[in-house]
Structure formats: C-alpha cells, structure tokens
Structure 1
Amino acid sequence: MKLSLHFLLPLLLLSALLCPSSAVLCHPQDKKVLLEIKKAFNDPYVLSSWNPDTDCCHWYCVKCDRTTHRIISLVIITDNKISGPIPPQVGDLPFLQTLIFHKLSNITGPIQPAIAKLKSLKFLWLSWTNISGSVPDFLSQLKNLTFLDLSFNNLTGSIPSSLSLLPNLDAIHLDRNKLTGSIPASFGEFQGSIPNLYLSHNQLTGKIPASLGKLDFNTIDFSRNKLEGDASMLFGSNKTTFLVDLSRNMLEFDLSKVEIPKNLQYLDLNHNRITGSIPVGFTADSNLQFFNVSYNRLCGEIPVGGKLQSFDYSSYFHNKCLCGAPLSSCK
C-alpha cells in the first residue's frame, strides 16, 4: 500500500530531526578563522582535512562543543612541516578551552599576544618548539587556566610574578628553557589551587623565596639551576609533598634540621653544598622510593631503618664524612 503525501511529509521531517548527521554544525566564523590558521601555516598536510566544503567540527586536530558546536580544542602535535610563528588568529576562537602545539620544532617567534583573548582557555601547552622571547605577563589574564606547559623551548628573561594571580592552576611547566633571574616571591602567594612547579634546566639564580614555605606543594622541581642558600622551608612534617628535586644547584643548608613530609616519595638533593647529617626522622614512616644526597658536605652515620639502606652507595657517595651502610662503616 502506498503512503499518501499527507503521511510521507511528517515522516521525512521526523527523520531529518532524528538524523542530523548531514547538517552543518560548525560555526561559520570558527571555520573562517581555522582556514586562516591553515593558510598561515602554509597548508600543511596534517591539516589537509580542513576543507572549506566540509563541516569543521569533523576536521582533524579540532573539537567542537556538543551543544554549541563552537571550536573548544585545537591540538597539533609532532609535525615538522608546520613552520613560522604562532598565527594571531588563534586568539579569534573565543570558546577555545584547549590549545596544544607540541613537538613542532619549526614554530618560532614569541608567544602570540592574541592568546590573551582566549578567556575560556583552561589548557595551554606550547612545548618542544623553537618559540623564543619571554614568558609573557599577559598569561595572568587567563583566569580559567588550569595547566600551563611552556617547557622545552627557547624562552628567556625572568619568570613573571603575575602567574601567581591565576587561581585555578594545577601545574606550571617552565622547565628546559633559558630563563634567568630569581623565582618570584609571589609563588608563595597562590590563591586557590597550589600548582606543581617545574622550573628545572634553566639559569635561575638567587635564593628560593621564604614565602614558598607557607604553601603545601605536591611537586617541586628546581633542579639544574644556579640557586643558592636555604631550601629547608620547602619541607615539614605537616606537609603532603610528593616530590622534591633540588639537584645540581648551589644550595647551602643544614639537612639535620629538616623534617621530611610523610608522603614524600622522591627526594633528590645531589650536587649542592648541603651540610649536617641525615636526620633519624628520615627512617620513620618513610615512603621514599628515590633518594639521592650525593656530592654534598654531609657527615655522620646514615641512620639505620626505614628505606635508607635500600638505596645503593651512589645515593650517598662524595660527601665530606658520611658513613655507614651502604657506604663503608663508621670508625
């Protein structure tokens, strides 16, 4: 029996509502901006799916919000065909929450100031590139930022103190750059979230600000810099710190006065100028999985108990007069 047109039209309409896969969802302004970004990057193969005749919500490297259909993610990784500076058009994606340019070795120039317009941005990851210039102060305007990774670049200059104004940061990765100057004292004033701090492999100088002792950081990696003076404020039995790496600096403090956090699992202090002895407290309720105090000026017997004897001699050697297992016995 043939269906009359009277019945057929409602069925067709219902089918269109239930099966909108052929509908164009991409916002036209977002599509225009993405095509400008593709052009600025000289039409690389990785962006070949960015065809103006197709829906940009289906393009590779981008993601649309399921409700608004606005672009919320732009992720381009591992492509040496992409070259040049970061296009300013990235700042014209107003709903962007994630921006990742990772292992793009031919991206050069400074961090694009237009990024400051991305007020919804939560995840900014620009790493393993050849971007240069300073860590920009305008990043402090991105109040929704939860993750900042600018590692493995050629960034120079000092760390802006204004980063402490970001209330939701879980991590700051500025490691493996050419940063100079001191660690900002404002890093002891984070409000809300207390971020993991990764500042290693730079040329930072001066003392670790005493203000950092006020906060309970989960992870601190200041290794391979030129930091001096005291670092004991980073420790404390009342803290929940998981990892501390201060290796290969010029730090000088008395380790015997340090109280180790019970949750601490990774402690690397090698190649400094640390004095005193290893506290007996390091054996009590210790969760240490990695421990290295080699190349310092420690003396006295390595306390027996806990996990201190489970680390081999390389964790202790080249100290002034440290002795006891796993080193030679004390006389």
Structure 2
Amino acid sequence: MRTSFLPWLVILCILCNWPTSTYSQCLRDQETLLLQLKTELSSFIGTKMMSWTPTKDCCRWEGVVCDRAGHVIVLDLSNERLTDGFNEFSSLFDLNFLQSLNLAYNFFSYLAIPSRIGDLTTLEYLNLSSSGFAGQIPIELSRLTRLVVLDLSSHYIFEQVPSLNLDDPNLMMLVRNLTALTKLNLDGVNISATGNEWGQAISSSLPNLEVLSMPNCYLSGPIDPSLMNLKFLSIIRLDQNNLSSPVPDFFANFRNLRVLRLSSCNLNGIFPEQILNIPTLQILDLSINEKLHGSLPTTIGSLNSLYVLNLSHNTLTGPIPSSIGNLTQLRSLDLSYNKLNGNVPLQLVNLTQLSFLNLSYNKLTGMIPWGRQFATFTETSFLGNPQLCGPVLNRSCYTPSPISPITLELCISMIVGFFVGLSAFVWPLLYSKSWNKTYYSYVDKIVLRILHWGGR
C-alpha cells in the first residue's frame, strides 16, 4: 500500500507559517474608543497618550494591551497628570472587555467616581489610588464581581483635602458581592465604622483576602474576633485608627502574615508576645501607642525573617534582650522614646544588614557596642541616654568615680591614726634628758662644720 506524503507536507507548511506571537491587530471600534478618550482628556496629554496615533496599531500604544481577538483588556494611564474629562459620558466605559484599569496618581479635581464604573463588569484589577477623586464611593462599584484587586487609597497626608467616603453605601454594601477580592486598599477613605461593623463586613464577604489595608479610615475598636476567619491574610495595615484595644491574640494564627502595621492606634495592654510566634513576619510596626507597656520578651529573637522592627514612642520597660542579635535580616530597628534600661546588648553587632538604628531617649547605660556596621550611625541614634558612653557620643567610658563617703572616712581615720602614733613616740623623747643631750650635741657638730666651710 502506497502512502501519500502530500497531506503531511501541507500540514507542515501550515505549522511553519503559524504565528508564534500573541500579538493581534487592534479592532477598529477599540481604536475609535481610545482616540475619543484621548480627545476627552485633552487638557493635558501625558507621555503615554502621545503615542496614540492612527498610524500605529492601537494594541501597540503605550499603556494599552489587547487580547488575541484585538480587544483592549488593559489600560494603564497612571502618572499621566490627567486633570479632567473623566465623567459619566466617557468612552472609557464602552471598553467592554477591559480587565485591568489603572488611573492612579492623576488629579481629577476632587470629582466623584463616575457611577458608570459599574459597567466595566469584566474588570479584575481596578486602581484609582491618589487620583484626586472625592465624595461618596458609588454603589455601582459592587457590581464588579470579578474584581481581585481594588485600590481606592488616598495618600495626601500633608494637607487637608476632600476624601472618598463610605456612608451610603457603607463598607458592607460595597464588598458583599466582591467575594473574589484578594487585595483591598482603602487607605484614607472615611469609613467611620465600629470594630464589629468593619470587621464583620470584611470577614463575612472576603474569605480569600490576602491584603487588608485601611489606615486612617476613622475606624474604632476593638478589633472584631471574626477577622480570625481570614486565614490567607499576609498584610494588615490599620495605622492611625482609634482601635483602643490590645493586639488580639488570634493574630498569631495568621501563619502567612508578613506585614503588621498598627502604629498610632491607641493600643493598650502588655506587649503582645504571642505575635512572636508568626514565622513569616517581616515588618512589625507598633509605634506611637503610649499605652502599650511591658518588656520586650526574650523570645523576640525567634522572628528571624524580620527586617523592620518599629516599637518607638511606647512605654516599654526593662532591658533590650540579647536575643535581638538573632534578627540577622533586620534592616531597620527603632526602639526610641521608651523607658528601656540596662546595657545595649553586645549582640547588636551581629546585625550586619542594619541600615537604620534609633535607641534614643531611653534609660540605657554602659558602653555602646562597636562593630564595623556601627560606624555609619551617628550620635542621633543614641541621644537622650545620659549614662551611655562610647566613641559615637564622644563620651569616655573611663571617667574616675567620685570618692564615696565610706572611703573618705577611712582615709581621714588613717591620717589621724598616723599622727597620733607619731606623737606618742616623739613627744616623750622631747622630755628625755639623754635624748636632748644627744640631739643638741649632734646639732652643734653640724653648725661648727658649716662655719668651718664658710671661713675658708
């Protein structure tokens, strides 16, 4: 039976000419929508949109990514300094295949987020952080049920500016349908919720959450125990909220936790030793919680993955444990403005990765350890510890100690005893005839000899 090789040659030719790139040509309607969007935002055209010209395929425009069919699925206009033109009538909301939208770091003049944002139901990534939006977050955002990442953060911390807020809808109404979320960033959004309100809203709706970032959101405490159901949390940021509670024991159950930031939260109670059982912790910031007291546990050295430790401006007492020298990955250590006492442990010289150190304004004593890495630290790292000494502070550690009252009294007694003893021996001799005769005979001989020498 003869075999024909012609069909195999045809298949081979097809395979050789099959395109290997995922690049597809932009569809005409997608190009039209993008050019229309460029016109709408024409008050200032950033560097990315300058490449948006009909002479070049729109799938190759900067900030634009298409799928294989030529639909725009990614639009990144971050850091373009856009100021206006983004409203309910924007052609942006007709990009029905969009999966990722990034408008971060623009300035939309404190306008409200357009409610038509809810039309982009294929979105999986939405980043509107620091883009100058203000006012009520629209309920239509809750229609984006495919969202995996939602970032509405505002980072304007040096001036009083209008902020986004969650009133109607509240936090529960916003997130109840966003069950696919793994990252939720609401930094600076005015949520104004109690501990059980915001805690239960998140824990009941977002079982897959990995990043919870809500600093400066006007949250109150205590932290609700329902949060312990979020087994995948790796980042917790709740700084600058009035939590008024201890650090919960159940935080130790977050076995994937890498970042815990609870600074300026009005925390109270004893330093939470249980969080030292989290093996993955890399950043621990419990600073500026003046009611947080107690001593640093000796087990602090078990956090060997830690590279930032900030416990400044609290009321911690006792010595710095020598086990802190086991934190060999540490880059930043701030224990300033506490009431720590005792010597600075010699084991600090083991922290060869350390680039920032602040032990100022405690009650530390003794000599500052000296190692090659310590040469980069100045006296500002140790100010406010008058009993510390060493080359960094230009303060000698070998100043003579003052004479104690007991030593001074002993010296006086010995001197008085010596002269009393001497008097007891010399005084009787002065009244002895034989001693007087010998004494004056000896003196006469000396005088005659001197006169003899002078007469020559």
Q: Would you call these one fold, judging by a TM-score over 0.5? A: yes
Distance between the aligned counterparts of 2:212 and 2:375, measured in 1? 38
Distance between the aligned counterparts of 1:96 and 1:143, measured in 2? 14
In the TM superposition, residue 184 of structure 1 has moved relative to its aligned partner by 0.8
Pick closer, same or farther for the CA change 1:215–1:78 going to 2, 3 Å. Answer: closer
The answer to whether the Cα contact below 8 Å between 1:131 and 1:154 also exists between their aligned partners in 2 is yes
Partner of 1:137: 199
The answer to whether the Cα contact below 8 Å between 1:262 and 1:286 also exists between their aligned partners in 2 is yes
Q: Are 2:127 and 1:75 equivalent residues in the alignment? A: yes
**Corresponding residue to 2:306 among 215, 221, 241:** 241
Q: Are 2:391 and 1:325 equivalent residues in the alignment? A: yes
In the TM superposition, residue 222 of structure 1 has moved relative to its aligned partner by 0.8
Distance between the aligned counterparts of 2:232 and 2:165, measured in 1? 29
Q: What amino acid is the match of 2:177?
A: K
The answer to whether the Cα contact below 8 Å between 1:72 and 1:98 also exists between their aligned partners in 2 is yes
Distance between the aligned counterparts of 2:276 and 2:100, measured in 1? 45
Partner of 1:163: 227
Higher strand share: 1
Most deviating of 252-261 and 239-248: 252-261
**CA deviation vs aligned residue, 1:119-176 (integer Å, no higher than 9, x gap):** 1101101112333223512322422222121123322222234334322222111112
Q: What amino acid is the match of 1:123?
A: K
Q: Are 2:187 and 1:121 equivalent residues in the alignment? A: no
What is the RMSD of the two structures over their aligned residues, measured on CA atoms?
A: 3.0
The answer to whether the Cα contact below 8 Å between 1:256 and 1:277 also exists between their aligned partners in 2 is no
* Local SS of the residue matching 1:91: helix
The answer to whether the Cα contact below 8 Å between 2:333 and 2:358 also exists between their aligned partners in 1 is yes
In the TM superposition, residue 92 of structure 1 has moved relative to its aligned partner by 2.7
* Local SS of the residue matching 2:186: strand
Distance between the aligned counterparts of 1:222 and 1:53, measured in 2? 42
Partner of 1:213: 276
* Local SS of the residue matching 1:120: coil
**CA deviation vs aligned residue, 1:202-233 (integer Å, no higher than 9, x gap):** 21111222211212311101111121112335
Matches of residues 75-114 of structure 1 in structure 2 within 5 Å?
75-84=127-136, 86-103=137-154, 105-109=162-166, 112-114=171-173
Matches of residues 162-241 of structure 1 in structure 2 within 5 Å?
162-191=226-255, 193-216=256-279, 217-226=281-290, 227-232=292-297, 235-236=300-301, 239-241=304-306
Distance between the aligned counterparts of 1:236 and 1:285, measured in 2? 12
* Local SS of the residue matching 1:291: strand
Distance between the aligned counterparts of 1:321 and 1:177, measured in 2? 36
- The structure showing larger relative contact order (alpha-carbon pairs under 8 Å, at least 6 residues apart) is 1
In the TM superposition, residue 99 of structure 1 has moved relative to its aligned partner by 1.2
Distance between the aligned counterparts of 1:300 and 1:189, measured in 2? 39
Q: What amino acid is the match of 2:143?
A: D
Partner of 1:273: 339
Q: What amino acid is the match of 1:113?
A: M
The answer to whether the Cα contact below 8 Å between 1:50 and 1:59 also exists between their aligned partners in 2 is no
Structure 1 gap segments, 5+ residues each: 1-17, 26-43, 64-68
Partner of 1:32: none
Distance between the aligned counterparts of 1:297 and 1:53, measured in 2? 61
Partner of 1:21: 27
Distance between the aligned counterparts of 2:312 and 2:100, measured in 1? 41
The answer to whether the Cα contact below 8 Å between 2:343 and 2:365 also exists between their aligned partners in 1 is yes
Structure 2 gap segments, 5+ residues each: 1-23, 31-65, 67-83, 104-120, 156-161, 400-456
Higher helix share: 2
Partner of 2:414: none
Percent identity of equivalent pairs:
27
Partner of 1:150: 214
Pick closer, same or farther for the CA change 1:158–1:120 going to 2, 3 Å. Answer: same
Pick closer, same or farther for the CA change 1:59–1:280 going to 2, 3 Å. Answer: closer
**Corresponding residue to 2:95 among 55, 58, 62:** 55
In the TM superposition, residue 252 of structure 1 has moved relative to its aligned partner by 1.4
Report the TM-score, using the length of structure 1 for normalisation: 0.77
The answer to whether the Cα contact below 8 Å between 2:297 and 2:321 also exists between their aligned partners in 1 is no
Distance between the aligned counterparts of 2:310 and 2:126, measured in 1? 33
